[in-house]
Structure 1
Amino acid sequence: MHFKNTFLLASALTASTAVARRHGHERRHAHKAEIEEPQLPTVTDAPKIEDRAVGDIVTATIDGVLETWINEWSGQVAAESSSSSSSTIVVPTTTAAAVPEFTATPSQVESTVTPVPTSSTSGGSWYEVPSSGSYSSSGFGGQSKSKTTGLLDWDYVGNVGIPWGSNIIQVDEADANQYKHVMRFEGSETEPWTVVFWNTYGPDGKMDGFWKPNAALSFTLEKGEVKYVAVDDNSQGGWAAAPGEDIPTTNFGQYAATWGEFDMSSEKNEYYSGWDVSCIIAELNGLDIQGMRICNHMGGDCSYIGKGLVGLLSAYTSADQGNDHLAIAQAPGAVRLVVTLDYVE
């Protein structure tokens, strides 16, 4: 999901959910926006963030519809927020801009991934589930009440944690199997990488969680290192991952590395979960496209983009804006994912 300033900007309204229609459940993947100008700026790394004044007129093409509204975001993020205020995006109907041409063809054959049978000192492997059927909430903050801020599909605000971001936590391998939604992050074999997580909706209740400096969780993965992340129920958000100490951004401060996106036990979608990989923001801004793969712990239900956009499966590129059939969906229950950074097909 992306919106655009009158300056040349492709920014994102993250893929709040990845529940696919093949399961008969509504998908709110408004993740992808078109860009109006044929020429894109080239940004090599974390460019200077330009000011966007409150009151500026903003235009965007979302799912083929050109939209305008008045900017209300000052660029300043509250230190902590226990509740979110809502804002409504006004969407007039007008003409659509063309989608940039993209020639890569997704693979129709899902790759096979070797399961990761690591052991846990608390009993069982990290991907096993508690025999009691009850999951741990240790380390999470309070659950914020869900709400709908408008009529559009992505106007659903799920759990963002109280305080904001406390619904996404790092956990030890020994405790990982006690949580309902767990992701195992496997670092690059060549260099350290930085990972930054967000909720779709930011600390002030606006759809800007994926803008710097917002971060629900961030960490560095050293070469070959593994870390585990747990996500609370009814959480919609994502992460960006890139080599080095910083995540590249657009000129306006949006995280612009390859994204992973998730929706965990969505109340709106009858507790289905989902995930996908996206390089839309990096691609539209002429930045490096990092490789990333997300599969379940058995090596199935994969979404991936190979490094440099060499290799593609059930993932989003600039040609897929508005496509709601690419992401992976899983029926209600525990989620166990393996995220491979710096993935090369």
Structure 2
Amino acid sequence: PYPTSDWDWNECLRVAKRLLRRDPSGRIARYGLGTYEMHETVGLVWQFGGSFFDPTLTYCTLDSPEAIEAISFLHRMLVVDQVMPSVAERNAIGTQGGWGSSVIDLFCTERIAMLRIGRWGMVKFRTQPNLRGKLGAVLLPHMRSGADEVRALSVGINPKSPNREEALRVLQFLASDEFSWHVVESADALPPSPKVGGDERFLNDADHPEEDFNHLFIEAIKRGRSNHFPPFIQTTRVERIFNRHLAVMSDRRTTPEQMCRALTDEINEEMRVSLMRYASMREEYRRRTGRDFDPADYPPKGGTADGGAAVTSITAGFRVGDALSPAEHYRFRGVCGRAGRVQSGDGVHQLGPGPARAVWLRGVRKLRAIVQRT
């Protein structure tokens, strides 16, 4: 039987273990859960009582005890119990036998048993004969909270558009019941109209009677939250930093606590540099916090789990000789010159107080950093 919607992450882990399958050689043939990266982990951190950023969205708080607990549980699923593949493992599976490397492709080929996804996944699932009659749905597990990230598409009109009247008619159509029924028929997410979303014809689709779980997507919206990021760093940059540190932890090179503290320091350091550089950002910081930005007191003392420790793990996840992009080269060069001595241990480089010396070599195709201890 499928779990009930009041299940928690401990029960989810038990179910994932039961769904795990290995081939005769001992290799994992089917994982219990799909891959988690940054956007999937946002909800996990919320459910354990943590958050990515403080309420004013001015500094990262992934080094809080609650966030560390969430990442520790993710580490258990990824590394200890191995019920979900890392990104590297997912991509490796995708190269075998011509399968795609996305978690959706692996779910469709039954290499993953459970998948975190919205109703839009049915667009793909309806085309898979092997999945007919075998699909079920349940709300995501909870812990201290049942909240998870909710995303939506928004449409607006440019005030300088030369075709505002035509654009307005398009918006009116997108808000109509007619368009909502098109969405229902295509299975591409939930209908924009709440009236259509509560219609019995949607909740019990006669054309797809096996999809008897549409009401769960409505319930998930009620439990959901929108996610917001600070204006001092690009969301894609946060995602890249997070996923890089996650890959290092998945490779058993850092502990969950080291990962959380390292990526928190790196994200905060990038925001601190941006705040020092741009007056408009400092004005926004003051508007959000009610105080002037002080680079010597950022993040604010007591604002992070360690009160703003002096050690900044800005290069965690990079080892001597690792390839760096030009942007990373520029960023690390500036930080090394200011932040201090480079310390190396267990494959993780940290910046601490003291003079720094780094030698940068530019290759034909890529940039490599050679960090020298001083």
Q: TM-score range by the shorter chain?
A: under 0.3
Q: Which has the higher strand share?
A: 1
* TM-score (norm: length of structure 1): 0.21
Query: Normalising to structure 2: TM-score of the pair?
Result: 0.20
The structure, 1 or 2, with the larger RCO (C-alpha pairs under 8 Å, 6+ apart) is 1
Report which of the two has the higher share of helix.
2
Q: Which has the greater radius of gyration?
A: 2
